[in-house]
Structures are given as C-alpha cells and as structure tokens.
Amino acid sequence: MRPKVLIVDDDQAWLRLMQIELEDFSDSFSVLTAKDGNEALDILNKEHISFVVTDLRMPGMDGYDLLSQILKGFPDIPVYIITAYDKPKTRDVVFKSGAAGYLTKPFSAEELVDAISHSLRKRAEGGSLHNVSLETFLQLIEMEQKTCTLHISDKKRKKGGVLFFRHGDIMNARIGNRQGKDAAYEILSWSNVSLSIEHDCVFQDKKINGDLQAILLDAMRSKDEGDAEDIAESEDSAGDEILLKEPVKPKSSETARGVRPNFTARPIPKDKPKPSDRTRLRISREDQASGIDFSTMSPIDAVRKKIELQIGNRNGVQDVYQDQSWNGLINEASKIGESVNFGKLNVFYVNKGSDEHLIVVPGSEIAVVAISGDSPRNRILDILG
C-alpha cells in the first residue's frame, strides 16, 4: 500500500497545480488534498495518511489549530507548515508547536518531495516486511525490548494502523483517530500484513493497560469467525513465546534510549571461588556430554540424551517427540529474522497459557520437548541452543 500524503490549502488553484506536479512521483506516494482543516480531519479519520502539509493561514481552522488536532489524534504523522508570510517569530512558533518542518511559499515541487521522502525514509528506517505473521513478529519485539513504531497495512481490508512500543511494552495503538486497546485489538486481528519499522516512539506514558501476551490472546479470540482460514493460520502462533539464541544487536542510539544491549559485562573476580558439589557435578556432566558424537543419533534421541547427560533425571521432561507441524511457524520466524538481521533460530519456547509447556528444536526432524511447569527451562534452552 503506497504512502498517502495530504496537502491542505484554501487556494484551490495552487492545490491543483501541486497535485499535478507531484504526479511524477506517484510510484512512491499518492496525494490527497483538502481545502480546509475540517475537511483534512475528515480525511485523516478515513484514510491512513503518512504525511501532512498544511497552509498556515486558512479561514476557519487555521494551520496552528489543525496542527494541534493532528498532534492530539494522530501523533505519529509528521506535519509540515507552509506559508507565504515568513517571519523569524512565525518559524519559531511553528516548531515550538510541534511541526516537523517549515516551507516558505513559493517553493518547488522538488523541495516538497525532498521533505516527504525524508519523512518516509525515517518511517521505514528499521526495514519493511511483507506478508508476515504480525503476532510472531511482535513477540520478537517484546523479547528484544525494542523501542519502535510499527506502521502496519492490511491490503485485504485496505486499512492501515500504527502500534507503538517502548522497551518491548505496547504503549498505544492507532487506526484513524481511534486510539487505545480497541485499535490494538483490530490491528492484531489482521493476518499477513505489511509493516515498516521506525526506531522511535512518540509516547512516554502507557495508554494501553495490560501486557502484549494478554492483548494478543484477546485479539485472536475476537477474530472474525468468517475469516476461518486466517484464524487457523494465526492460532498456531498466537500464544507462542519465541526465544532466539542470538538477539538483535541494537544501535548505539537504541542503547541510549534504554533498549537493553545484548549482554551485561561482569568483572571477573581475581580469586575464583571453589566450585560447589553441584557445580562440579554439572561440569562432569558437560565433560561427559562433550565426548559423545550426537551426529550419529536421530535428532529426537540426541535431544533426549543431551538433556539427560547435562541435567540428570530431575529435568522435568515429560516427552520428546517429532512434530513437523511446527514447520510453518519456524519458516515464518526464520523469514522475519533474516529480514531484520536477527540471529539464527536455534530453539524456542512455547507457552499457550495451559499446563503444557514446549521447547521446539528446528531441524530436518523437528524435535518437541514437553516439559513440566517447574522444569529448568532456561537450562534446557541453553543446552539445546
């Protein structure tokens, strides 16, 4: 779905001229126009707009009032103010009011295109994905504690929405001028969406109560019963928690905003403590495991043997079996990982909100380990990862 740019001005002749000049860039974005602020808000409520350009002086609702309304109802949409009355004080007031940019009339179509292109590049700075399972990707966002804004489009329904995350926590959602949990439920019910990732979030305060897992489960339950095929595909992963062996390496700017880095450096003590009996037993088991050639075993037997050797009988493992039905979820997660430079998917943990806990190991034969709720899950993940 192409980004949509909204241009607002009471000068109809100028609007038409600008629309014609921007037709050369129709492959990159489409242009909608409005003659005043009220018409612009009507369009914003109905269309998924990516960028707004508005004249400052208009009858009725002027550019300042429109900017204020957009910041309140559509806080993620950048707004450029244009005016023929350029004064230093005006420019200062415009930026202090929250505008993303400022252009003085007359300006060329190329200048406006540069501003639009810069904004759209920023919106997709974290990459773009198409035909992805949204719930799977969101769990990766939560796991990596990412701060970002996801611009999501559903071609089937011809709708667009936005999800806001700070440190992996869902802060808000927006469809048109609707915000909050209801908007999140609708977006999360969409299947096979396209999305672009922006490494920023305009919300500091949480507008949606509850954690992502609970909201995902509620959204899956509320899916349209008539869309049975999409429901069947998404329910396979709706309640899954996926753990990758190697997380995303955040940029330095992400670390500055509080996104946790890949590891925490710990000083190595000069006088190392003597290993306890339990530690010596674990080291002995690891040494024993290192001397076995697991490549000669079937994947199922190799998984079972690794756990038994390194943890012992009290490992909480209830069963180990082969299940190729996980192949679709594994392929989806791997595709997402490759698109955004995640590490290789070696193993993941699944909790569907019941007493059944699973650890899934991808491979030519997909091994599934059924474990009890009190099993040493993290140890098993380390061993199999």
Q: Is the pLDDT of residue 297 over 60?
A: yes
The percent of residues in the chain predicted with pLDDT above 90, rounded, is 30
pLDDT category of residue 355 using cuts at 50, 70 and 90: low
Q: Is the pLDDT of residue 46 over 80?
A: yes
Mean pLDDT of the chain: 78
pLDDT in tens, 233-270: 444 444 444 444 343 344 444 433 344 333 333 343 44
- Give me the pLDDT at residue 225, please: 46
pLDDT category of residue 290 using cuts at 50, 70 and 90: low
Distance CA 345, CA 139 (A): 14
Structural tokens at position 232 = 């069947």
Cβ neighbourhood burial of 327 (10 Å; 0-12, 13-18, 19+) = exposed
Structural tokens at position 12 = 């109809």
CATH number of the domain at 4-123, please? 3.40.50.2300
Closest by CA position to 97, among listed 60, 74, 119, 66: 66
Q: Is the pLDDT of residue 98 over 80?
A: yes
Third-level CATH fold of 271-384: Beta-Lactamase (3.30.450)
pLDDT in tens, 265-282: 334 344 444 444 444 444
Q: What is the mean pLDDT of residues 200-209?
A: 92
For CATH 3.30.450, the residue range(s) in the chain are: 271-384
- Range name among 82-91, 118-127, 281-290 with the lowest pLDDT average: 281-290
Distance CA 295, CA 360 (A): 18
Structural tokens at position 261 = 């880095």
For CATH 3.40.50.2300, the residue range(s) in the chain are: 4-123
- Give me the pLDDT at residue 49, please: 93
For residues 66 and 42, is the Cβ–Cβ distance under 8 A? no
